[in-house]
Structure 1
Amino acid sequence: MTIEELKSQISKKVESRNKLITETKAMANAEDADMTEINKRMSDIDSEKVEIDKLKKQLETRSKIEALKEEQNKTDKKEGEMRNMKIVSDNGKDQAIAEKRSALNNFVHSKGQVRDGLVSDDVGVTIPEELIYQPENEIKTTYNLKQYVNVVPVNSAKGSYPVRKKATARFNTVAELEANPALAKPEFNNVDYAVQTYRGSLSLSQESIDDSQIDVTGLVNNEITEQKLNTTNSKIAEVLKSFTAKEVSGVDDIKHVINVDLDPAYSKSIVCSQSFYQILDTLTDKNGQYLLHQDISSNSPTTFLGLNVVVVADDLLGAKAGDQVAFIGDLKRGVLFADRADVSINWAEDQIYGKYLMGAIRFDVKKADANAGFYVNFPGNEQTTTSTTVNP
């Protein structure tokens, strides 16, 4: 039964019941009122009320169903429009990436003579970001520490970047301000940086370029990505090693670092070596429950005591395989990454081979807030507990 049919029936039932009520009232006011008939009519009035309530309930249910259908139709229509927009957007994005890949191929095949479609800098041409970070070209076993630190684009080779200290002043009452009107000013630490240029050659065969028209973009991207991550990870790790060293021997010591040694205002996480991670993976609480949690059904990060955990190689954060070390603290506040120029490539002279493809990146990494974290290690680790020396 449709909504309109239900409404019509309800209207008729209500009209009929109202008429019956009116007639029954008139009958009851008559001098010769027949109580038997009046009682029968009262029963009919109650029955009509029950029928009307049933129809109203059906109408309410039907209305909800229709409203849900209408909402679903709107949602489906909106999703369809979004899909169409995404298709158009993706097609445009795919076209742009294809053009950039073609431009990079032309640059490689022409030995640097054709630069159309690429941005030049003081080193060579900059590889478009979309080509470097294509998911199909990423190496799944690598990690990128740069994404966790404070990356600041800089326009000069040397400079100073202000980092605001934690505020300790409080607001004052009006009376206090009248007596002492001076308000505390924000305090800053100036972090000096000096951009370095890191260079390396790409393993690309000259013959494959001269004798083939293959798409070399994928090969260049893989090599560039590996060398870039190896370089930035290494320099960021050096800064992490320079934080105040602490020795921990169990869960309670780690909790003390997190809860007491670090200011609660810091956003904390853990970057640890594989060997340190192995220890975390075996630690349990008083009930025997493991403290390290990882949702294997999704992309959720691994957590330990509520902190996200990033695992790196032993010899990156430590000195050698087996080093049980970690940085616990706020990476964003603790590390400044002065980013001068992204990956660039250029053709360089080589006495034996003729020419080779040279890559370069320009950046500097500095400790920004010395109180933002600690460099911790477990006892039995041969690495000393003193921090690695890095220029502040």
Structure 2
Amino acid sequence: MTIQEKIANKKKELAEKRAELKKRIKESRAAVAGDDSSLSADDIQKIQKQITIIENDCKQCAADLDALEQISPLLQDPDEPDNTDSDMDNAQTDSADPTDSTAQTSTNGQAPAHNKAAGVIPAGKQSNSRIITAEERGIILPMHNVKNAERRSLGHVRSFESYVRSKGERRDVGLAFDASYGAIVPTEYLNATDQPLPPNSLAPLVNKVAVKEPHGFAPIFKRQTLGMTVVSPLQPNAVTANPAIYPVEYQVQTYRQQLNVSQEMIDDTNVDITGKIADYINEQKYLTEQYAIGHLMVAGDDTTVVTPVAISVSKGTAGYQLDLVDQIKEQFNVKLNIAYTNRVFVATQSAFQILDTLRDNYGRYLVQQSITDASSKTMFGVPLVIVQDVAMGAQGEAHLWLGDPKMFCLYAHKADTTARWFAGYNYELQLYAFYRADFRVADPDAGISMTLAITV
């Protein structure tokens, strides 16, 4: 079989394999995306493995075809008509040596007359002249007059050999490379990774209550401040004042988002895009809770306004760090009622940067690692929760909150995140996410908001 016949057969084989791959991919997509699809995860993995095997066969077939087409010009004898390689079918051509006397002498003892392209001087002139080689003349020897070792020494053959051994990745200078039949270099996409969300959610710290009605009240009994009075015998009883009750009114708000996803993305991507979108919606809910609770701690709501206490020191003052510690200690020891024993510090990253550099009179750092959890922080013996700056204000603002978050914040929710898919008119799927909740300051005495600043 000639080289050209091998190339034709290899092209036919490649076309058949590519058609089979296209058909298998189309059938697999229809089976996975169907509404009545009952394929399990194992079934999908098996389909993917079968498609991968066919893809590898196509790649190997394309590489073989590329190798045949690259080597075909090198095997062609320039003295023969195009598309023939009969000279290479002769087994004696590889062993023929132009320098061998037996190969160069005819039966009558006379040297045969060769074409000038062979690089040999006629016999009549050999006695008086040195043989000038074809390499000195700059002539490329025909391939049927060159030994195998000499072929491998030729620059363009070495380049082709390097190309074949490296599977098309190395292309030396001088190698004629046809881009239309180049090696197929596959592109691989690894598993998608997600940037992590900031930790330390505030939602588990506050009083989260499921409500049935969109509007309601959460009454709070105010703390008793007076004791009983002394009454003489047979004297009328002192009348105790009625308990002070004030209602915390909530009005459930509706948070809604819409996300459009093209059907082509769902069909063509190798990532579980619907699962990623579900995670995306859950992350939005997490941030909604974080920002709403952080805003309450810094500014309050529309009925209860929170005014932060400004704590500021100057670097030019001697012992300014101890002064800052003393001001925070005052809020911790005096300003916040000792009735609130479930205390927590909540600090933004900018505030934590200030706190983490403070020391007491004995040189000990104010912020300590928790004994039970090395990743947790404590300050004055109570937990210190660190959140993003934007969760409690703007970037760069140093906010510090102290108090009992369960008493301070009421988190009323009527429905958790609900996501529904609807088909759009532009061949897309529309995801509607609903979330209904309200965040209110329940007991303003249960928390103190502070802003920290160190001036120059």
TM range (shorter): 0.5 to 0.7
Matched, 1:293 2:368: yes
Structure 2 partner of 1:315: 390
CA distance in 1 between counterparts of 2:202 and 2:402 reads: 14
Structure 2 SS opposite 1:360: strand
Structure richer in helix, relative to its length: 1
Q: 1:225 aligns with which of 260, 282, 296?
A: 282
- 8 Å CA contact 1:138–1:222 kept in 2: the answer is no
CA distance in 2 between counterparts of 1:343 and 1:361 reads: 5
Structure 1 partner of 2:159: none
CA distance in 2 between counterparts of 1:177 and 1:311 reads: 60
Give the AA of the match of 1:252: D
CA distance in 2 between counterparts of 1:283 and 1:367 reads: 31
Q: Give the total of aligned pairs.
A: 249
Give the AA of the match of 1:149: V
CA distance in 1 between counterparts of 2:425 and 2:245 reads: 51
Structure 2 SS opposite 1:198: strand
Give the AA of the match of 1:379: A
Structure 2 partner of 1:245: 308
- 8 Å CA contact 1:284–1:290 kept in 2: the answer is yes
Instruction: Mark the CA change 1:212 to 1:312 in structure 2 (over 3 Å): closer, same or farther.
Output: closer
Q: 1:358 Cα shift?
A: 1.5
Structure 1 partner of 2:330: 256
CA distance in 2 between counterparts of 1:138 and 1:173 reads: 66
| Counterparts of residues 81-100 of structure 1 (less than 5 Å) | none
Matched, 1:235 2:292: yes
Structure 2 partner of 1:379: 453
What are the superposed Cα offsets for residues 288-330 of structure 1, whole Å, 9 maximum, x if unpaired?
A: 11010114873563101112111111122122x2211121112
CA distance in 1 between counterparts of 2:277 and 2:380 reads: 41
Q: 1:137 Cα shift?
A: 9.8
Q: 1:170 Cα shift?
A: 3.1
CA distance in 2 between counterparts of 1:176 and 1:290 reads: 59
Structure 2 partner of 1:198: 255
CA distance in 1 between counterparts of 2:393 and 2:288 reads: 16
Q: 1:244 Cα shift?
A: 2.6
- 8 Å CA contact 2:222–2:245 kept in 1: the answer is yes
TM-score (norm 2): 0.49
Matched, 1:279 2:329: no
Q: 1:140 Cα shift?
A: 5.8
Instruction: Mark the CA change 1:187 to 1:226 in structure 2 (over 3 Å): closer, same or farther.
Output: same
Q: 1:197 Cα shift?
A: 0.9
Question: Mind listing any 5+ residue stretches in structure 1 that lack a counterpart?
Answer: 1-108, 112-135, 382-392
Structure 2 partner of 1:61: none
Q: Mark the structure with the bigger radius of gyration.
A: 2
- 8 Å CA contact 2:211–2:413 kept in 1: the answer is yes
CA distance in 2 between counterparts of 1:170 and 1:203 reads: 63
Structure 1 SS opposite 2:435: strand
CA distance in 1 between counterparts of 2:310 and 2:211 reads: 36
CA distance in 2 between counterparts of 1:335 and 1:163 reads: 12
Structure 2 SS opposite 1:226: helix
Structure 2 SS opposite 1:142: coil
Q: Percent identity among equivalent residues?
A: 35
| Counterparts of residues 29-68 of structure 1 (less than 5 Å) | none
Matched, 1:347 2:413: no
Instruction: Mark the CA change 1:332 to 1:211 in structure 2 (over 3 Å): closer, same or farther.
Output: same
The root-mean-square deviation of aligned C-alpha atoms, in Å, is 3.3
Question: Mind listing any 5+ residue stretches in structure 2 that lack a counterpart?
Answer: 1-32, 36-192, 300-305, 313-323
Q: 1:160 aligns with which of 217, 220, 239?
A: 217
